[in-house]
Amino acid sequence: MICNKCGERVPDESRYCMYCGSRVNKIQYYNDDNTSLKSYYRDIDIGPSDPKSKTTAGLLGVFLGAFGIHRFYLGYTGIGIAQIVVSVLTCIIGGAIWGFIEGLCILCDTAITTDSEGNDLV
């Protein structure tokens, strides 16, 4: 597969070019003499999804972390449900502490730095 931004060859299973870092959404196959065999666009990778805000995720964690709202915002629904369960079992105290700490870690860039699709938080 060839990166459509920089033109370098990247492995077929790659989602990002290892040379320029751009998201690869067009697959082009070439012969050894660089004549194109075929090309098509991946249905699921036509452009990146909207980037999630680090500030929004962090503030949701600090203020509504007991309910896992920041995890749902980032697409981590399983952990969001786990935070709700912990909050119910500990009368909100355990979930609130967990969410508050995660919110601070998101704001300080020390823990969660990507959403569930692997996109960096902006």
**Alpha-carbon distance 89 to 6, whole Å?**
52
Reported as a single tens digit per residue, the pLDDT across 49-67 is: 678 999 999 999 999 999 9
pLDDT at 43 over 50: no
Tally of CA atoms within 13 A in the half-sphere of 52 that contains its CB: 25
| Residue 83 CA to its chain's centroid (Å) | 20
pTM confidence score = 0.62
